[in-house]
Amino acid sequence: MRARQIKAFVKRDLRLVFRDKAAVFWLIAWPLIWVFMVAYVFVPPGSVTPVKLEIGVVNMDEGSGNFTGRDLIAVLENATYHGDRLFNIHVYNETGEMISDIRRGALDAGMVIPRNFSRNLTVGSARLRVYIGFTDIRSASITQGVLRGFLDEVSTRIGLVKANITIYYMQRYMEEGGVYNQSRGDLVGFLRRYMIGIAMPLNTSYEEVRPEAFETRETIIGWYTLGAIGMMFLYTGFSQGAAAVYREKEAGTLRRILASPTTPSTLVTAIVLSNLVIFLITAAIVLLAGVYGAGARIVFDPANPAHLLAPILLLDGALLSLGIGMLLSPLAKTSQGASSLGIALGLMLTFTAGIWFPRQMMPAWMSVLAEYFPPTWVFDTLRNIMVYGVGVGEVLGDVAKIAVATLIILIGDVAVYRLRLRRYLEEA
């Protein structure tokens, strides 16, 4: 019976939504407009580029040798990823000046090549000091990841060159009258492996890690596709959650529904479920259009446990928005009022709480809002999973936080509805 009643609501509401041009516009067209806006106006094809890091360099190296400070700068300047330059190099004469530019945010990082860099490199190991601009943890870790990967590789290459040179000299020394015995070939082979071992203590490949850390056009569009879905969830969820019961009341349907054997809890469940179904359908349309129409990078791999979380998180994002909307409903008196309140608040939070504009772009005081706004947790986690390919272990903490927040909001909703459902009817 209960299931049947709920089905009746879902069927009815789907009909209503897809017959209502305005609803279809706000649910599907509006988010898509923004996804395509990002894809073709803000980051048109070819315009982007993995984030290019602005790197300052102070070169105090005076020596000459196989590999000097100037060589390092040249390598940095020529480093590419997918055909795009990775670094913009700015040469400074003075460390203090460079550090203050990092502080201003003009540089992502800076490095100091010390006076005897090239000499140390030839005879032993050379030191390199790197300053990472820490505007926020995400961009700092990207910068650090890129630089570290790159410099490790440079260091490995230099090590290899050194090892080969050493082997060459040793070989010549041994051939020209040094120790000569039958096991000479074995000795050289042994030394070769030994020396290469020195040069490459760890045979790590940074290639696999690197792409994930980069913002490409695809990940930017992926980020905003989820942002557009989040925006749609917020304004529709808030307004639907706040206005749904008023709408039933004003249409006169609430009286009939409450006079039927439908219990209040079935009614609330039905309102929530039919909205969730609508949200999932529209989110799927926006996701597919984002991926296949706008070229967003959104990965879904059912074999990856983190990705199995994604649909649940998406549902939870919808549930949270509706749930917050329902908490708003006592603040209004009519469906008009409730719906305007929901839309206004939903849009405001979309733009201020990190759903549509990345938190990193906002002043610190404002990003506090994003810190404490559960829907932002949902969408950031979704982005980490589906856009940046983060593993399940890294998101479990966020998922737990989200689950607790959802639970608290739902308990609040039950309280509100318990208290108010019949009063909605009787209040003039």
Partner 1 sequence: MIVEARDVWKRYGGRVVLRGVSLRIEEPGIYGLLGPNGAGKTTFMNILVGVASPDSGEVLVNGRPPKDPSVRARIGFSPQDPGLIDQLTGFENALFYAELYGVDPGTARERLIGIGERLGLPRSVLARRVGGYSGGMKKKLGVIISLLHDPEILVLDEPTSGMDPGARRELWSLLEELRGRGKMIILATHYMDEAERLCDRVALINDGAIVAEGSPGELKRKHGPRAVVEVAIRGGVDEAVESILRGEAERIEVLGDKALLHVEDPDRAVPRIIDRLYGAGRSVTLLHVRYPSLDDVFLRLTGRRIEGP
Ligand X SMILES: Nc1ncnc2c1ncn2[C@@H]1O[C@H](COP(=O)(O)OP(=O)(O)OP(=O)(O)O)[C@@H](O)[C@H]1O
Instruction: List residues binding ligand X (CB under 6 A).
Output: 426, 428
Member of 129, 172, 256, 418 binding partner 1 (CB under 8 A):
256
Please give the DSSP secondary-structure letter assigned to residue 330.
G
Which x/- pattern over 260-299 shows residues binding partner 1 (rule: CB under 8 A)?
Answer: xxxx------------------------------------
Whole-angstrom Cα distance, residue 4 to residue 39?
43
Looking only at residues 143 through 182 of this chain, which bind partner 1 when binding is defined by CB under 8 A?
A: none
Which partner in ligand X, partner 1, none is near 179 (CB below 5 to 8 A by kind)? none
Which one of partner 1, ligand X, none interacts with residue 255, CB within 5 to 8 A by kind? partner 1
**Is there a contact between 51 and 249 (Cβ–Cβ < 8 Å)?**
no
Q: In the complex, what is the shortest distance from the CB of residue 396 to ligand X, in angstroms, rounded to a whole number?
A: 50
Residue 1 binds: one of partner 1, ligand X, none (C-beta under 5 to 8 A by kind):
partner 1
- Measured in whole angstroms, the distance separating CA 192 from the mean position of its chain's CA atoms is 44
Do residues 366 and 308 lie in contact, with contact meaning Cβ atoms separated by under 8 Å?
A: no
Footprint (CB under 8 A) of partner 1, residues 17-76 = 19-20
Q: Is 15 in the site for partner 1 (CB under 8 A)?
A: yes
State the minimum distance, in angstroms, from the CB of residue 28 to partner 1: 18
For residues 377 and 383, give the distance between their C-alpha atoms in angstroms, rounded to a whole number: 10
Q: Which does 265 bind (CB under 5 to 8 A by kind): partner 1, ligand X, none?
A: none
Asked if residue 259 binds partner 1 (CB under 8 A), the reply is: yes
Q: Does 331 bind partner 1 (CB under 8 A)?
A: no
| Least spacing, CB of residue 428 vs partner 1, in Å | 7
How far apart CA 194 and CA 188 sit, in angstroms, is 10
| Beta-bridge mates of residue 89 | 55
3-state helix, strand, coil in the chain (%, to 5): 70, 5, 25
Residue 223 contacts which entry, ligand X, partner 1, none (Cβ below 5-8 A, type-dependent)? none
Given ligand X, partner 1, none, residue 83, with its beta carbon under 5 to 8 Å by kind, binds none
Q: How far is the CB of 413 from ligand X (least distance, A)?
A: 24
Cα dihedral sign, 212-217-222-227: positive
What gap in Å lies between CA 373 and CA 346, rounded to an integer?
A: 12
List the one residue out of 282, 271, 292 whose CA is nearest residue 229. Answer: 282
Report the nearest approach of partner 1 to the CB of residue 218 (Å): 40
Nearest to 307 by CA among 369, 390, 250: 390
Smallest separation, CB 297 to ligand X (Å) = 54
Report d(CA 416, CA 323) in Å as an integer. Answer: 11
When binding is defined by CB under 8 A, the residue of 89, 154, 258, 366 that contacts partner 1 is 258
Contact predicate 287/281, CB 8 Å:
no
5 binds, among ligand X, partner 1, none (CB under 5 to 8 A by kind): partner 1
> Which residue, 13 or 316, has its beta carbon nearer to partner 1?
13
Which amino acid does the sequence have at 283? A
Give the three-state DSSP class for 173.
helix
Q: Which residues of 134-156 are buried (b: 16+ CB within 10 A; e: fewer)?
A: eeeeebeebbbbbbebbbebbbb
Q: Would you say 8 or 408 has its CB closer to partner 1?
A: 8
Closer of 141 and 253 to partner 1 (Cβ): 253
How near is the Cβ of 422 to ligand X at its closest, in Å?
11
Interacting residue ranges for partner 1, rule: CB under 8 A:
1, 4-5, 7-9, 11-12, 15-16, 19-20, 251-263, 422, 425-426, 428
